[in-house]
Structure 1
């Protein structure tokens, strides 16, 4: 009998939340991992990781593409996640992040695209979309960024659900712009933990809070919405219960998908 594969079995058309922001998406025969964080709990400078991953990096060693919304903060790219990303066949991130990370990272500015050939014969187009990593009125750096350069991603291809990964975005105005530019979104992966950093932006959220996550789902019109980035780190201030409450208040419970980390969820209703 042939030995079983050490890799996590693929579930095409589905997503799995590993913990923190880290999400596995199997689409069109490709495996995509966003914002990999695989370290054990412990301190990372001024941030503290509190929960380890539900799936190990070794189980995902067959990943085809890694997406990193920004490399500046450990809750989006910790030490093990960085090694994992740099070992992948393709790593897409911000233009400044690609310079810092080096090969094989490819930098994308907002609205840049990268197209991959799928094993099933089609294409998967990955579009970098804007993300504002702090309040609209937050102080901007010389490049016009709030906090740091960050991006989200839209994944699309014939016969596939169109998936929006928000990255660390706190701006509903940005979500509305993405809707105008991209059009229909079928599924979302929303960084929704209301991350707050002591001493920064009067401790206002630097990622979506629960109410704005529900608002983003309504604006995008997605029929499947997966919240991530709401637990596993001490600076996330709104968890699963707050997210469920906000979606219920908005009348959107039917489009919210929440399960224990390590559980596959379909990206179509």
Structure 2
């Protein structure tokens, strides 16, 4: 049985068969102001539902990118040395150093420990902004976890584009965890940096997962298409798409079986 706990923002805890895997650790309290570069920034409006000291042992951290503090903040960065295995982008691994594993699109690594199934972790493409924005926004990846019982996929921070759509051709996704929020900044006008609710619906039409779970839509001021926006998009979706979406109460462990 797979259990997922949405801790807040992009941070989620995956538990199954003895594994405890954390995504994008963000543990700073609410109220902080952050700069993302090139005139962009945001304010954190909600702290984590679970304090890192209450988490217990973590086997691995899957970090979609290390250079934006809404995905790895100061408290999250301080937490990383407590974990034996950190997997992130190739460029992020160079910045973090140590034994951090770096992946590029479609590269894989394995997580293994006695008494639990081996997990194949595959990096999936992301584009964290409009076309040609990569030199500004940097490398980002998603993560597909496969232990032989269906793929659990975290989209990472991305807009809807051909690279993300290719996941539907290459993987059979059972559970899709989708970073939404429709991030925008005043300095860049209408440009978006993550998926909107309508994007999430379009992606679920392609993926046809058993379950689709929105995360990273709350807790920060730069989200322009938060839970209400995603809910409106889901409400307008065909019934067979609508019924796949599931909201996780923040801070509560939920079985995905």
Distance (whole Å) between structure 1 residues aligned to residue 220 and residue 118 of structure 2:
35
Secondary structure at 1:128 match in 2 = strand
Cα distance in 2 for residues equivalent to 1:264 and 1:225: 16
Does 2:40 align with 1:50?
no
State yes or no: 1:124 paired with 2:147. Answer: no
Assess if the C-alpha contact under 8 Å between 2:5 and 2:248 holds in 1.
no
In structure 2, do the counterparts of structure 1 residues 210 and 265 end up closer, same or farther at CA, with 3 Å as the change threshold? Answer: same
TM-score when normalising by structure 2:
0.91
1:10-32, Cα deviation, whole Å (9 max, x unpaired):
xx401111111111111332111
Q: Which residue is 2:220 aligned to?
A: 233
Q: Higher strand fraction: Structure 1 or Structure 2?
A: 2
Contact 1:172–1:215, Cα closer than 8 Å, also in 2:
no
CA distance in 1, matches of 2:141, 2:248: 26
Q: Which ranges of structure 2 fall in alignment gaps of 5 or more residues?
A: 36-40
Name the structure 1 match of 2:38. Answer: none
* Contact preservation (8 Å) 1:172, 1:212: no
Q: Show structure 1 runs of 5+ residues with no match.
A: 1-11
Q: How does 1:165-176 map to 2 (within 5 A)?
A: 165-176=154-165
Tell me how many residue pairs correspond in the alignment.
249
Aligned residue number for residue 260 of structure 1: 249
User: Residues 172 and 249 from structure 1, CA distance in 2 versus in 1: closer, same or farther, beyond 3 angstroms?
Assistant: farther
- 2:231 aligns to what? 244
Any conservation in 2 of the 1:172–1:216 contact (CA below 8 Å)? no
SS of equivalent to 2:143? strand
Cα RMSD for the two superposed structures: 1.6
- Alignment counterpart, residue 193 of structure 1, candidates 164, 174, 181: 181
CA contact (8 A) 1:134 1:171 kept: no
Q: Quote the offset at 1:118 in angstroms.
A: 4.7
Aligned with residue 156 of structure 1, among 143, 146, 154: 146
Indicate conservation of the 8 Å contact 1:175/1:220, yes or no: no
Quick check: 1:70–1:93 contact (8 Å CA) kept in 2?
A: yes
Q: What is the TM-score when the length of structure 1 is the normalising length?
A: 0.87
Aligned to 1:92: 87
- What is the distance in 2 between the residues matched to 1:154 and 1:225? 14
CA distance in structure 2 between the aligned counterparts of 1:237 and 1:78, rounded to whole angstroms: 21
